[in-house]
Structure 1
Amino acid sequence: MRFSLIIKVLIGVGVCFQLQAQEDSLDQDHSTSEIKFLFDESRQYLGSISFSYQLPMPNGDNFIGSGFDGTDGFGFSGNLFVFKNLYVGVNYGINNFDVIDRESVGNYNNTQIEERYLTLGYELLPISKVRLGIYTSFGGEATLSNSIVSGKSNRDSGKLWIYGLRLEYEFMENLNLMVVYDWRQIKSNIRVPDELEAYFEKGTYNVLSFGLKFNFGSNSLIN
């Protein structure tokens, strides 16, 4: 049911962007200006703050991919444009999962993953009012809180890596709608017998996010 909704939302976003592209093409029909794909001074910002609602989707043959079922989450990020559209960011988020395979993962009902990481990325400008961000994480940390009905819990931790794409639509001045898709991997510190080490060494999941991005400033840190 959730995947059907996600597909419908993505199709709707794609249609909106296509209509916008057609409108821009008509407006520029007799114009000799070129599309500024890598940088446009008139669309430059100093930084941004964004908030998002997240849908985590476990994948892969590992303790997250096989043992968890994603429910929901949220994310916060602050970005600073260092030079033109090259930016660094600080990020914080939480994703929630139900445990669906207690025999392999442990006798828990749910797990909450707290994520803290920095990003390095670049924003492309394919058409008017549309921005496309590509990024990777560094210095990422994850804390997994495993809970049971009685309220007791234990925690695990690991190193977090992320690779992602962000599509934005500038529907108001300094305010963007965004859809974000990224792949996440946790290299865990979970201690298990040798025969289970490969299963618990790394956990992978995808995250689809929907949110708002607030932009500020008009020049990058280095002009």
Structure 2
Amino acid sequence: MGLSKGQKKRLYGENTQVHSPAPSPPAARSRLKAQAEPRVITDYSAAELAAQPEKGGGSYIFVGVAFTVTALFLLYYYLILLPGISTVAGVTAPELMASFDAEHLEALASGLGEEGIRSYQIVHRSTGLILPLIFAFTWWNMVRASRFELLLGRLMLALPLAYAGVFMAGGFALDQAIANPLSSATALASLLIALRWGLFVLCLLQLGYLAVRLVRSKVDAFSRGELPGQS
């Protein structure tokens, strides 16, 4: 038999009901939710949010790395690889000469032997292809970073591209000339190697011009107070 309300009151006292907590008002729940969520600061100025593609610091770093790689390839090719071939053959490698004739190529082929000639041809089809491509790619980026006008920029780009093309063509012409030194390929190979040296000198002069132009632009920007960090 269940107890009546009066009996429960006499038996348990006044606290006969377990009061559930009152529901939080909507305003209190909103404050609790706001405190639990992370705050996102969005008070950036328009200048901070705007893209700034003209700074170009990263592009100069990239060009510097590419130039270093190209310089190392050139040093390896002209100071290590070709002198090694010259030592094995007993005569100077044609790429290190301004011109050569059929007699010189016959002496080179005799000194290298069949195995050495194959290795020499592999050089033309490996390093002899990679080096001019890297060279042209580096010069292309240096000219682009200099921001010439359209026509002048294209003229500046023509020089390293011509050097790369002549470089690769000279290697293949040398392969044919060594296989048959008395053929017309010998004269063509000698012409291409001479042209390669001439274009290389012009590329070095172009590099000097780009360096002077860059330094002059930085000096002018410094005098106008436009360099980063200048107030």
Q: Above 0.5 in TM-score? A: no
Structure with the bigger percentage of strand: 1
Higher relative contact order (CA 8 A, sep 6+): 1
Bin for the TM-score computed over the shorter chain: under 0.3
TM-score between both structures, scaled by the size of structure 2? 0.25
TM-score between both structures, scaled by the size of structure 1? 0.26
> Over alpha carbons, which structure has the higher Rg?
2
